[in-house]
Every structure is written in structure tokens, then in C-alpha cells.
Structure 1
Amino acid sequence: MYSFTTRFSGPTLRQRVSMINSHPSGPRAWWRYTLWVFLMGVVLLACQHETRQHVYTPGDVLTINALPATSPARAMVADLEEKGTWYRHMALYRDNFGTRIVESKPVILQLKGDQFVLPDDYKYESALYIDGKEVPVDELVRLSPEFVSELFVMHQWENLANANKQAKPYQILIETSRKPIQFDGRRKQFFTLLQAASISKYPLGESFSFNMNQLLEATFFHNKNALVERTKNEHLSVYDDYANAVEIEINNLPATLADVKTIHVREVARLYTKERHYLDWFRADSPTPRFKLSIQTTPKRAKRDSSYYVFSPFYTGDF
């Protein structure tokens, strides 16, 4: 009979009697029990560590990095973070470890020359506080970066149930200094970001992808995220604004502006565009091209292909 069908397939009677009459292992085996207890303790500690792991809510994340309220701006930051619906969208401040910066998309604050600028898209969504007092957002132009001690852009998670629907979603809190503040590397990086934001909508970098239908729509509406426009003969051409700042690949091979002009719009299988991080292109020493354009083509579409049909209100050519 197979062993899994009976409970009598274990040790023989003689072996069982021998086990009963055997002497206990005695003190020589104490280390085995000690090792077993130690390993069990490690397992319990590991399990305890896992139970302490927590999926942080917005309020939890903010209390971890809470700053002492040593200035009017910091006091307002602490008050907003305590509500649990606000976080530091952007920031420039100092702590025990030196200058700290926070960078997030979108960059709502810009620096043109030596003047702060708030784009129209965010002017009516933002409230400005300087040294703890609310002032019109137009007062930003009176500030100079070298006299800005600390700066916080607070943003509210609007989808939370306890969010304040009456408050403007962005709160700009600035603490000033009577004396100019020396620029270290982190301060320079922060204000360089604001300068890049006055040039680019995506200074922290962004990527886009277009299939042929999406490209037809983008070129029809002159969506410059595609980096290319359609010519009168339905070919592609890089926008003049980007011609001197773009790296081009066609079918994974380096290409030129002239090569792009040889591509008919219906040949495009996929088009990828990328704007690089501002630290790559907004620099004086050996900058990388700001944009990258990559095109994958389907050459057979260069001639009429009646088996391929596109439902698009943005193209009237013959497929």
C-alpha cells in the first residue's frame, strides 16, 4: 500500500523504543536552544518593524519635516502644515544641515533679471505674504533675491475632504532680510530654476509622445510640444524657435533639420519629444541641447496605401 494511504508507514517499533530509551542531549546542546531563541527574537523584531511601516497621509509627511516657527513665514508654514491639507510645493530655507531647496512641477514663480514674476496663469490662484503680512501679488516685483531670506510656496491638496475651498490653492510666503545674503550653491540653484522658468514652461523637464493621429491634431492646433509643424506640402519642419536647441534622431540614427523636412506627415509611426532638465541646458559651460526630437517612421506610407485609413478631421490628404 502507498505510504500516503496509511499512518503506519513511519519508524519501526524497535526504532521508537530506542528513541524512548535514549539519553537526553543534556547541557552540551544548550547552544542550539540559545541560537533558536535568538533567531526567533530576530524574526519577531523584523515583524515588529514591518508592523510599524505606515502609509503616510499628507499630514503625516509634513509633520516629519516640521520647521520651528522662528519667523512669521515659518509660523505660517507650520500652521498650514498642521491642517494636513497643505505641503511645501517649492521652498528655500535653512536648517541644521545648511540651505535646503524644494523643487516641484509646475514652477509657478519666475525670475526675470532681478525681479520676481508671477505668471498670469497663477496670479489669481495665489496669495502673497511678505514677513507674515498679506500683500498684493504685484508687490513681488519690489523684492530682490539677495534680500530674500527664506521662501515657501505652499500648495493645498484640493481633493481632500477637509480642504479649505475658500483659500487660494497657492500661498507664497517670503521672509526678507535687511542685509544682503551671501549666495551658496543651493541658493544659486534655486534662483537659477526661477530664471529658467521665465524661459521654459517645463524647466524641470518633460516628455511627450505622439502617434500619427495625435501628431496630426498637434500640428493642426500648433501644439509646440511636438516641436514640429506641417508644411504646405504635408511634410514636417522643426519650429524656428527650437531649431538651434534640438537634438534629432530619426529611426534611432542622428539626423538634421533638413532630414526632418523629408518626412511626410503620414509616414510618422511615433514621434517623441523631450525637454531636458534646466541644469542640463541653462548653463554657460557646455550646455546640452534643450530639446530632443525622436521620430520613428513607416516608409511604406510615403506612397498611397489604400489599406490604411485614418479618421482624422485634421488631415485631408490621400492615404
Structure 2
Amino acid sequence: MYSFTNRFSGPSLRERVLMMNSHRSGSSVWWRYGIWVLLMGAMAFACRHKQSRSEQVLNPTTLPATNPTRGLVVDLEDKQTWYRHMALFNNKFGTEVVVGKPVILQLKENRFVLPEDYKYSSAVYINGKEAPVDALQKLSPDYVSELFVIHQWENFAEADQEAKPYQIMIQTSSQRIPNNDRREQFFSLLRAAAISQNPLGETRSFNMNQLLEATFFHNKNALVERTKNEHLSLYDEYAKSVDVFINNLPATPADVKTIHVREVARLYAKERPYLEWLRPDNPLSRFVLNIHTSPKRAKRDSTYYVFSPFYTGDF
């Protein structure tokens, strides 16, 4: 017969019961709670400090107001209804550039110009003081140290209805500003905006009916027009600045004239970004035209195809 030892009758069980029934001193309990509270408070403070530093990094209003122009920018951005639509400024990392559409400020003959469409909706400030729009023409980019175009968010209940939606703020220098790649690209964009409505590039697609409508209304975004014999022809102003492709194969402007308008399956008209065509070294053509054709359409008649209201030829 085997005897088994009962582990629950040993001194370890009695010691545990005595420990459970013993009265703990109040100080031994409260100092642990105190340490726990201190640790939680320290963690909360650290997280809050980290969050505030992150907000400073991400928030554009942390721009130091080191000149009158920056002071105006910070004041507007603090309202939370304005943002930097375009900007050229300096930070600890170098020259910073912000670009947005549309490019409302232009450079013509090295002078700033504001298009007619934006004169009424823009306010101009030079060195922190409001100035007439015509004052822009007296400025040279070589003496502009910082430039901001601040735009108000649309459809905001808190928006300032009396303020003009575009605020152009320019800080000048008495000395010529050293040029660099970012400044050159920014001012090249403004020069391109004086030439093109889409300096950042644009691609449009037309099927046959859309092309008929575009040529009927002389919409030059298609790059081509319909001739009297119902064929296509490049607009004269684009003929020397376009790369032509027909069914993805290189072609010439003369080849475009061989395409009947009803053979067009899809036409792609692309304007390249300004960095590709407005540059001194090996500039590319400003436009690309690619026409996809459907030759079988030449054999169709009106029983196979719906007439377009912009086309009176025989289908």
C-alpha cells in the first residue's frame, strides 16, 4: 500500500494563509500607488510633448516670421482657411518650392504679370505692404527673395467673404539673389505660364464624335482641325512644335492630312510639362499628337453609322 504526501498540509500552506490574513501597513500600499501615478503622468507628458513637436514639423504655420511677408503668411495660415498655393522661400534645408494649379502669376520679359482673369480676385503685398497689381511689373525675379501665393479654401463656413481669394506676397532684397536650380525651375514655370495655359502638362483624349465637336467649335486642344475635304490638318501654330504618331508609329504633319475624319478611332493630344520643352539644353517638342485609326470605317455608309450633328459628310 502506497502512501501519498499531501502537499497542502505542509508549512508552505500555513505561511500563505498567514500572509493573506496579515494586515499590511497603509504606507506600503500608498507609495506603490504613488509611483504608478507618477509613471503614468510622465508617459502622458512625453506623448503630449512628442505630439506637439510633430505638429510643429507638419504645420506650415511654423514658418518663422523673420520678415514682414512671412508675418502676413503666418497670420493667414493661423486662420486655418488659407493654404500655400504657390511658394518660393528659404528654410534650413535650402530653397523650398510649392507649385499648384492654376499658375496665376506669370513672367513676361523678366517682369511679373497677373493675367486679367485673376486681377480682380488677387491682392498684392510687397514687403508686407499692400500694393496695386501694376506694381508687380516693376519687380525683377533677381531681387525677389521669397514669394507666396496664398489661396483661401472654397466653401468654408469660416472663410473671409470680404477677402480676395488669392493673396500674393513678395519679399524683395536690395541685393541680387544668388540663383540655384530650384529658383530657376520656379521662375521658368512662371515664364511657361505666360506661354501655355497648362505649363505643368496636360493630356486630352478624343473619340471621333468628340473630335468632330472640337473641330466644329475650333477647340485647339485637339491640335488638329477638319479640312474642307473632311480630312485632318494640324493647326499652323502647332506644326513646328509637335511630335506626330499614327497608330503609335512616328509620322509627319503631312501624314496627318491623309487621315479622313471618320477614320479616327481615338486621338490623344498631349502637352508636355514645361521642364521638358522650356529648357536651354535639348528641349523636346511641346506637344505630342497620337492618332489611332480604324481604316474599315472608310467602307461604311450611313446605314452603319449614326450621323454626328457636327459632321455633314457621307458615312
Q: TM-score range by the shorter chain?
A: 0.7 to 0.9
1:305 to 290, 301, 311: 301
2:193 to 194, 197, 202: 197
Determine helix, strand or coil for the equivalent of 1:90.
strand
Aligned to 1:183: 179
Determine helix, strand or coil for the equivalent of 1:247.
strand
Matched, 1:206 2:237: no
| 1:84 partner letter | Q
Q: Is this contact kept in 2: 1:128–1:136, CA < 8 A? A: yes
Aligned to 1:63: 59
Aligned to 2:213: 217
Q: 1:253-277 CA distances to partner (integer Å, 9 max, x unpaired)?
A: 1111111111111111111111111
1:106 to 92, 102, 108: 102
Determine helix, strand or coil for the equivalent of 1:138.
helix
CA drift at 1:63: 2.1
Q: 1:118-163 CA distances to partner (integer Å, 9 max, x unpaired)?
A: 1111111111111111111111101111111100011111122222
1:257 to 248, 253, 259: 253
Aligned to 1:146: 142
Q: 2-side partners of 1:208 and 1:62: how far apart?
A: 35
Aligned to 1:165: 161
Percent of residue pairs bearing the same amino acid type: 70
Q: 1:228-252 CA distances to partner (integer Å, 9 max, x unpaired)?
A: 1111111111111111111111111
2:121 to 122, 125, 138: 125
Q: 2-side partners of 1:163 and 1:234: how far apart?
A: 52
CA drift at 1:311: 4.9
When Rg is computed on C-alpha atoms for both structures, the one with the higher figure is 2
Q: 1:99-119 CA distances to partner (integer Å, 9 max, x unpaired)?
A: 111111111111111211111
Q: 1:43-81 CA distances to partner (integer Å, 9 max, x unpaired)?
A: xxxxxxxxx9xxxxxx99972463111111111111111
The TM-score normalised by the length of structure 2 is 0.79
RMSD: 2.1
The TM-score normalised by the length of structure 1 is 0.78
Q: 1:269 to 1:90 in 2, by over 3 A?
A: same
Q: Is this contact kept in 2: 1:90–1:103, CA < 8 A? A: yes
**How many pairs are equivalent?**
263
| 2:89 partner letter | Y
Aligned to 2:244: 248
Q: Is this contact kept in 1: 2:56–2:62, CA < 8 A? A: no
Q: 1-side partners of 2:156 and 2:204: how far apart?
A: 29
Q: 1-side partners of 2:203 and 2:56: how far apart?
A: 31
CA drift at 1:305: 2.6
Q: 1-side partners of 2:234 and 2:257: how far apart?
A: 8
Could you tell me which runs of 5 or more consecutive residues in structure 1 were left unpaired when the two chains were aligned. Answer: 1-51, 53-58
Q: 1:194 to 1:64 in 2, by over 3 A?
A: closer
Q: What pairs up with 1:45-60 in 2 under 5 angstroms? A: none
Segments ≥4 residues shifted beyond 6 Å: 59-62
Q: Is this contact kept in 2: 1:68–1:74, CA < 8 A? A: yes
Q: 1-side partners of 2:234 and 2:116: how far apart?
A: 28
